[in-house]
Amino acid sequence: MLNKLIAVASLSLVVKCASVPRSDAGTQKYATWLNFGEDLLDGHDGLTPHPTQPFLYGQPLYPITVDGNGREQFEGHLSYYEGRYWLHAATWGCGKVWVYAAPPPNSSYPIVTPQAPGDYGEDGNCGVKTFSSPDMTNWTLENFYQPESANVTKPLVRYSAATGQYVMFMGGPATSFYVTTGPSPAGPWADPPSLLQGEHLSHDFDIAQDANGTHYIVSDIFEGIDLTPTGVLAVPVWPIWVQELAPNLTSTVGTNSTVQLVRTAAQLLNNTDGGSQGLSLEAIGFFYNEDFDMWYIIAGKTCQNCDGYIYYLYSKNGPFGPYEDGGYISGDGCGGQNKGVMQLPSVGGSSFYAGNLLYRTSATDLVYNASIWHADNSQAIASANYYPFKYSSDGLLLPLECEASFQLPLAPNITETPSPPKQYQPDCRIRNWQNITVTFDHPKNVTEMEFPVFQRTDNLGPTSNAGYKMDGPLEVTFNFANGSSWTQAWLASNISWTPQKVHVDLDGASVSSIVMGTNATNGCYGTLVEENEGGSTYCGKNLVTGVVDSTPKAQLYVYKY
C-alpha cells in the first residue's frame, strides 16, 4: 500500500529539480555517479544476500581510489571546500563488528561487541578516512585519522568562518558527539577529539546551514524502548531536536530561543498532536533549500543495519519550525537506510542528495515479520549510495527514484567532463573448499603485480562472528609458461577487511594462470572484478564437487602488472 500511495502522489505533482541549473546551462559539466551496476559474476560472488532483502535496484559496487585501493565510503559524507570534493568515511577495515545485544525475546538496545586489540587505537575503532577529488570521479586518500582514545563513526565536516578552522563531527558516547578541528578538510585533526558542548546530543545527527552561514544541528536522542510495533523485539524511540550551533561549531548556543523539540517519541509513535502513526525514526538528515526557503528533516526506519522506509518533515518557518509531515519518500529505502544529506554546488546553485547506507546481508541475519531486523555484523565491504532530491512546484519532496546511476552537476569551476568511472564488484569465494582461477589467453610477462584483496569472517548470527581475522593465510599461486609455479602467501594479520592492494615481484616471468586459495575455515578471502575486456578468463571452482562457475563477463581487477 505504501508504494502505491507514493506512486499516486508523484503523478499529481509538477516536478522541479533543484539539481537542474537555473542559468548558464551551457557551461554546466556533469560527472557520472554509480550507485549500482550489472552483476558481472551472475550471482557467483560468495556474498548472497538474505532472501528477504534482495538487491532490487542493481548489483552493489565497491569503488576504488586512483592508486587502486578500495574507496571506503560506508558512513561516508560528501562536501565541497577549497575547490575540491571531499569524502569523509568511517572505515571498518580493521575488523570492526557490530552485533545485536541479545536475541529475542530478551532484546535490548544494540551494543558494540568487544573487539580484538589492534594498532588502530581504542578496541573496535578503525578510524576515519578522508578522500578528495577534483571532479567527483577520481579520488585520492588524503588522511587517515585514528584517535587513540575514541571510537569514532559517522564523520561530517563543516567550516567555521569565525575561527578559520574546519570542524569534523563524529558519532560519540551516549551523551554527545565528538568534534575535532583542523586547518583543512583533510586535517590534520586534533587528537584526542573533544565532546560537542550542549544538551540533547546523541545517536544520529546532521548539520544544515542557512543563507547567512549559521549552522544548525538536528539529532535524534535515545528516550527509551517501545515494544508496540513488534510485540517481541525492542524498538528504541528517538525524539527529534534542532539547535543552533555557536559560530565556532564546537558547542550549541543553548538558549531557549535556539533549541527546539521538533517531535516527541510519543508524537511519532502514537499520532498525538499531529504526529504520524507508528513511526520510529533514526538515521536523520537535515538541509535548507534556498530555492523554496524551506527546511527539511529526513529520517529512516529504526532498525539495525537494514533497509526501511524514509520519511520527511518540512518547515516553511525557519529551522525551528513548526514542522509539517511531508510523508514517505521511499517504502524500502532504495534497499538501504537513510544517512544524512549532502549539499554540493552546481552552476545554478546548490544540489542536495540523500545519503543511503547499503548494508550487506546473509542467510544468518536476524529476521522478524519477514524482514531483516539486524544485517551482517561486519559492513566492511558495504558502501554508501547517494540519490538526488527532486521537488514539486511548491517545494515538497518527490519519492526517491533509487537511480542505479545519474548525471551529477559539477561545481562552476570545473570546465571538463570527467570520463565515467568503471564498476568494480567484490568477489568473496576464496575458501578452503573453493578457489578462484585467472587464466590468460596467452602467457603474460609480468614484472610486478598489484591488486586489491580483503578478508571476511563468517557471520554466525545476530550476536557473533567467526573471529576477527581468518584462521589461515591467503595463498596465490602463479603458474608459469615453462610448467613451473610459485606461491606467495599473506597472513590474515596483513590483510584488510576492505579491498587494499597486495604487491608481488615476478621479475618478468611469463605467467599463464593465477590460482587464489586458502586453508582458512572461518570465512572467505576476496578480491575485486571489473568488466572483461578480453585476454583472460575468470572462474571459481568447488574443490569438493569439481563444479566450475564460469563468469565470462568478469576479469580480475589488477592495478599494476
Contact 131, 89 (CB under 8 A): yes
pLDDT computed for residue 368 by the predictor: 74
- Is the C-alpha dihedral spanning 57, 385, 345, 213 positive or negative? positive
- Low-confidence residues of the chain: pLDDT under 70: 1-26, 99-125, 226-235, 271-277
pLDDT computed for residue 277 by the predictor: 60
pLDDT computed for residue 275 by the predictor: 45
pTM of the predicted structure, to 2 decimals:
0.91
In 3D space, the residue among 85, 150, 116 whose CA is nearest the CA of residue 410 turns out to be 85
CA distance 64 to 499: 9
- β-partners of residue 422 are none
Contact 92, 98 (CB under 8 A): no
Reported as a single tens digit per residue, the pLDDT across 287-325 is 999 999 999 999 998 877 788 899 999 999 999 999 999
pLDDT computed for residue 235 by the predictor: 67
pLDDT computed for residue 163 by the predictor: 98
Question: Which residue carries 502505491 as its cell?
Answer: 4
Question: Which residue carries 529504526 as its cell?
Answer: 302
pLDDT computed for residue 232 by the predictor: 47
pLDDT computed for residue 436 by the predictor: 98
Taking only Cα atoms into account, the Rg of the chain, rounded to an integer number of angstroms, comes to 24
Residues near 212 by beta carbon (within 8 Å), at least 6 away in sequence: none
In 3D space, the residue among 166, 261, 255 whose CA is nearest the CA of residue 218 turns out to be 261
CA distance 289 to 326: 15
Contact 2, 273 (CB under 8 A): no
Residues near 231 by beta carbon (within 8 Å), at least 6 away in sequence: none
Full strand arrangement of the beta sheet holding 383-388: 337-346, 349-358, 383-388
Backbone angles phi, psi at 385, to 5 degrees: -110, 165
- β-partners of residue 108 are none
Q: Where do the domains of the chain lie, and which CATH numbers do they carry?
A: 2-409 (2.115.10.20), 425-556 (2.60.120)
Find the Cα–Cα–Cα–Cα dihedral 250, 253, 258, 263, rounded to 10°: 50
Backbone angles phi, psi at 117, to 5 degrees: -60, 150
pLDDT computed for residue 234 by the predictor: 59
In 3D space, the residue among 317, 215, 309 whose CA is nearest the CA of residue 268 turns out to be 309
* DSSP type of residue 518: E
**3-state secondary structure (DSSP) of residue 515:** strand
* DSSP type of residue 370: T
